[in-house]
C-alpha cells in the first residue's frame, strides 16, 4: 500500500491515453466515450471567493482547475471526465453548510471539497455527515484529527497545525530562543496554534511568556504590540485575512532595528509580495512554509511540473503578473487532495453515490504517498483512523528579499498519538 497509483483498479489506460494522443482535439465528452458512462464525476468546490479567505479561494480555485485539467487529460477518473462545481461560501460557516446540501441535492455531486478556514469546516462537516457526502477539506485546523467531526470528513492533502508546530518547535527553541510571545487570530485556527505550540515549547524546555489574541476582522494592530513582555526572545506570529500586510508593517514600525527574533507562519504574508514597501525589516526573520514559495536550488521535478501547471513562476507569483503572489504554502493541498480522490475512486471502482461508503473505506486504507507529480509538496503518510495526513514542513529565512529554506522536518517529527478512530464509526 505504499503507492497510491498501484492500488487503483487496472483500467484500460493504454487505450484511453492512446485515444487522447491521437484525438487531442476531440471534445471532452468524446474523449471519455469508452467509459462505462460518460456522466462526469462531479466535485463540489467550496470556494472562499469572498470574505476573509478570498485570496486563498482564488488560488485554491486556480490550483484545483489545473489539477482537474491534468486529470482529464490523462483520462479522467475510471475513464470518466471530472467536473468541478464551484460555489462561493463567503468564508462563512452557515453558507458553507448550505452549500454542502446544495452540492448533494441540487448539483448531485459525488463529493465535496476544498474548504480552508476552520470555522467553515466546522460549520459544514456535520451536514456532510448527515447527507453521507464525502467531504475532503484542505484546511490546517486540528478539527478533523481531534475527532470532533465525522467519518465522512477527511483531510488527506495537507497537514494540520498540531503536526506543524510540534515538528518545528525543537528547531525554534534551539536556534531562536526559549521565551516566546505568540500573536494569533482569536478563533479556532489561532487557538490551535496557541494551545499546541505552547505545549510543544514547554516540551522543549521553553516557555510562552505572552499570548496576544487579535480579532480576525481587525485592521490596525499597533495597540496590541505593547502587550509583548520585555523578556520575549522570540515573537511567533500567525495572522490571516486582508489586513496581513498592515499587521507586518506595523510590527516593523513598532520594533524598529531592536527586535526579538521573529518566527512567523507564512499565513501572515500569503499572497503578499515580500518586496512590498515597509517589509524590509523582515530580512533575517523566519517563516514556516507548507511548500517553499520560491523555487529552491534543489527544486524537484515535481515542484517544477506543479508550478508550470498552475501558472506560477520561480518567485511564487503568477506567470501573467509578477505582482499577483500565490498562496503557495497551502494551495498544493487542493492538487494533492484531488489526486487522493482520484486514487480512492479508482481503488474502489467508484460508479456513483451508491459507492460513497466504499470511497471512504478506500481512502482510509491509504498509507504512504510518495513524492510525485500527484504529491509535489513531498512524500506523506496518511492515517486512516484519524483521517489526517502527515508530511514535511519547511522553515525558511528571508534572505535578500527571498525565502530560503533552512530546515525541512521529517514526516515522523509531526506524529502524535491518535485521538479518534473514525473507522469504528458506522458509514
Q: Tell me the β-bridge partners of 390.
A: 381
pLDDT in tens, 36-89: 567 999 999 999 999 989 999 999 999 999 999 999 999 999 999 999 999 999
Domain 5-159+329-391: CATH architecture, name and number where available: 3-Layer(aba) Sandwich (3.40)
Record the cell numbers describing residue 198, joined without a space.
Answer: 505552547
Q: Tell me the β-bridge partners of 83.
A: 42
Where are the domains positioned within the chain? 5-159+329-391, 161-289+393-414
pLDDT category at 239 given cuts 50, 70, 90 is: confident
Right CATH for 161-289+393-414 from 3.40.50.300, 3.40.50.2300, 3.90.550.10, 3.40.50.1110: 3.40.50.2300
Identify how many contiguous H helices and E strands the chain contains and give both numbers.
11, 17
Residue reference for cell 483500467: 11
As a whole number of angstroms, the distance between CA 114 and CA 112 comes to 7
Beta-strand pair 321-325/368-369: unpaired
pLDDT in tens, 124-171: 999 999 999 999 999 998 999 999 999 999 999 999 999 999 999 999
pLDDT in tens, 326-341: 999 999 999 999 999 9
CA distances from 397 to 176, 263, 272, 288 (A): 12, 9, 16, 9
pTM for this entry: 0.89
As a whole number of angstroms, the distance between CA 316 and CA 252 comes to 23
Q: Where are the alpha helices (DSSP H) in 219-263?
A: 244-255
So what's the pLDDT on residue 241? 74
As a whole number of angstroms, the distance between CA 150 and CA 236 comes to 32
Q: Is 21 exposed, middle or buried (0-12, 13-18, 19+ CB in 10 A)?
A: exposed
Q: Could you please report the per-residue DSSP string of 368-400?
A: EE-SSSSSTT--EEEETTTTEEE---EEEEEET
Q: Do domains 5-159+329-391 and 161-289+393-414 have the same CATH topology?
A: yes
Amino acid at each position: 500500500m505504499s503507492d497510491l497509483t498501484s492500488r487503483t483498479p487496472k483500467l484500460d489506460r493504454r487505450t484511453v491515453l492512446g485515444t487522447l494522443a491521437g484525438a487531442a482535439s476531440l471534445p471532452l465528452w468524446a474523449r471519455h466515450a469508452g467509459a462505462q458512462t460518460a456522466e462526469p464525476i462531479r466535485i463540489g468546490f467550496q470556494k472562499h471567493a469572498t470574505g476573509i479567505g478570498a485570496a486563498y479561494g482564488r488560488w485554491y480555485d486556480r490550483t484545483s482547475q489545473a489539477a482537474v485539467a491534468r486529470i482529464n487529460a490523462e483520462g479522467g477518473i475510471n475513464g470518466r471526465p471530472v467536473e468541478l462545481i464551484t460555489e462561493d461560501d463567503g468564508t462563512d460557516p452557515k453558507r458553507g453548510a448550505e452549500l454542502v446540501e446544495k452540492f448533494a441535492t441540487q448539483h448531485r455531486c459525488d463529493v465535496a471539497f476544498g474548504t480552508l478556514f476552520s470555522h467553515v469546516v466546522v460549520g459544514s462537516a456535520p451536514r456532510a455527515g448527515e447527507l453521507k457526502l464525502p467531504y475532503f477539506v484542505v484546511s490546517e485546523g486540528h478539527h478533523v484529527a481531534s475527532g470532533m467531526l465525522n467519518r465522512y470528513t477527511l483531510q488527506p492533502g495537507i497537514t494540520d497545525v498540531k503536526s506543524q508546530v510540534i515538528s518545528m518547535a525543537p528547531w525554534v527553541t534551539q536556534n531562536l530562543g526559549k521565551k516566546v510571545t505568540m500573536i494569533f487570530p482569536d478563533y479556532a485556527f489561532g487557538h490551535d496554534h496557541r494551545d499546541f505550540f505552547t505545549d510543544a515549547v514547554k516540551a522543549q524546555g521553553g516557555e510562552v511568556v505572552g499570548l496576544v489574541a487579535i480579532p480576525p476582522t481587525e485592521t490596525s494592530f499597533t495597540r496590541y504590540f505593547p502587550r509583548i513582555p520585555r523578556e520575549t526572545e522570540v515573537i511567533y506570529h500567525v495572522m490571516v485575512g486582508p489586513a496581513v500586510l498592515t499587521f507586518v508593517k506595523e510590527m516593523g514600525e513598532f520594533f524598529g532595528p531592536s527586535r526579538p527574533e521573529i518566527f512567523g507562519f507564512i499565513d501572515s504574508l500569503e499572497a503578499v509580495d515580500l518586496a512590498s514597501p515597509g517589509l524590509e525589516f523582515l530580512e533575517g526573520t523566519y517563516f514556516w512554509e507548507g511548500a517553499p514559495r520560491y523555487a529552491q536550488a534543489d527544486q524537484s521535478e515535481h515542484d517544477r511540473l506543479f508550478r508550470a501547471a498552475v501558472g506560477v513562476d520561480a518567485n511564487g507569483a503568477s506567470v501573467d503578473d509578477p505582482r499577483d503572489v500565490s498562496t503557495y504554502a497551502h494551495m498544493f493541498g487542493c492538487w494533492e487532495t484531488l489526486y487522493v480522490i482520484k486514487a480512492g475512486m479508482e481503488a474502489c471502482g467508484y460508479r456513483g453515490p451508491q459507492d460513497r461508503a466504499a470511497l471512504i473505506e478506500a481512502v482510509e486504507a491509504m498509507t504512504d504517498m510518495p513524492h510525485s507529480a500527484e504529491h509535489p509538496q513531498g512524500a506523506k503518510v496518511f492515517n486512516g483512523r484519524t483521517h489526517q495526513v502527515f508530511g514535511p514542513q519547511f522553515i525558511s529565512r528571508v534572505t535578500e528579499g527571498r525565502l530560503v529554506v533552512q530546515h525541512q522536518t521529517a514526516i515522523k517529527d509531526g506524529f502524535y498519538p491518535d485521538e479518534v478512530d473514525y473507522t469504528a464509526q458506522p458509514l
